[in-house]
Amino acid sequence: MTRAVDIAILGAGAIGQLICRQLTAAGEHVGFIARDRQEPLSLQDSQAQQYSQSQKLSFTPLIASDDSHSPQPIDYRVPIIAANALDHIRLVIVCVKAYQVIDALLPLFHQLPRQCHILLLHNGMGPHLALAPLIEKMESRGLSLGTTSQGVLRQARWQIKQTGKGLTQLGHFTGIELAEHYRSAILAAIPNSEWVDTIVPCLWQKLAVNAAINPLTALHQCPNGALAKTDFSAIIEGILDELVTVAAQDGVPIDKPLLHDRIYQVIQLTAANFSSMHQDVAHQRQTEIDQINGYICERAQAHGLTTPINAKLCQQIKQLTVAT
C-alpha cells in the first residue's frame, strides 16, 4: 500500500509550491489541502481520498553557477487532500498570506488529528498570537514558526521558478515540540535552513526588513535597489528606531546597527526585485501592511507607545490600495 501523505501544505502560492517541491524531492509524502471545502471527496477510505485527486506542477530550479545553460522545468504531481481526509496528517505547513492564516486554518482545526503540529511560514507577524491560546488549550498540539528568504517567482497558477537562495529559520513557539523526524526532514529538504532555539527574534529581524522595504517600494513604485539612495535614509532610520523600541518592550532586544546593515544588504542583494507589497499594490490586491508595519503599531499600543512613522505608512498604503 502506498504510504499516506503525512505533511500537508496550506497555501499553494509561490512559497508553498517551493516548499512542496523541496520536500517532495527529498522523498517526503506531501500534499496540498484543497481550497474548495464545499465539495469533499466522496470516497470512504481517507487514504484513498488523499490520492484520488492530484495536481501537476512545474518547477524550474536555480541556474548553477558553473552552468551556462538555463535549467529545464521539472514536472511532477502532488496529491490534493480534501478537508475530510486529514486523518493521516501530522504536520501542516501554513504558507498563505498573513491576513489569511486564521480564516484558512481555523475551519480545519478540529478536522486535523489532535497531535498534528502547525508550522506558520509567512511574511509579517500576528497570527501566532491569536493561535497560541488555541494550541495550548488542546495540550497535544504544537505550534512552530518560520521565516524564509528564498527567492521564487510564480509564473503561472501551478508553475514556479526559483530565483534566489536564502536563509530559512524555523523554531518552536508553544505547545508540544515538533517531532524530531519532521524537524530533521524539513532541514534536510530545504537548503540553507536551520532550527533556532528562539524563533521570535528572527521573525522581528525579518519584520524589520519587510517594514523598511515593502511600503516604501510600494509607495514610490520602485525596485528594492532604489531605497539605497540617501533620500530614503531618514525614513528607514525612523522605521527601525520605532521597531527596536517596541521589540525591546516585547522582550526582544535587537542590535540596531546589525539590523541596519542587514536591511541595506538585502536592498543591495535584491536591487532589481520588486517587493511583494509593490506587486500587491500594482495588481490591486490586498497587502500585508497590517501584519508588517501594522504589527509594530499594534504591539506599540499594547505597551502604551506611539509609532507615528509606521502608522503613517500603514495609512498611506491603505489609501493607495483604495485609490487603485
Let me know: does 224 contact 274? Beta carbons within 8 Å.
yes
Does the annotation count 318 as an active-site position? no
Beta-sheet pairing, 168-175 with 159-164: unpaired
In the chain the beta strands, taken as DSSP E runs, fall at 7-10, 30-33, 54-60, 74-81, 91-94, 117-121, 142-148, 151-156, 159-164, 168-175, 193-195
- Distance from C-alpha of 23 to C-alpha of 95, rounded to nearest angstrom: 14
C-alpha cell recorded at residue 164: 534566489
Q: How far apart are CA 62 and CA 39, in angstroms?
A: 37
Phi, then psi, of 288 in degrees rounded to 5? -100, 25
Find out whether 147 and 203 touch, Cβ atoms under 8 Å.
Answer: yes
From the candidates 206, 256, 312, 318, which is the catalytic residue? Answer: 206
Catalytic residues: 206
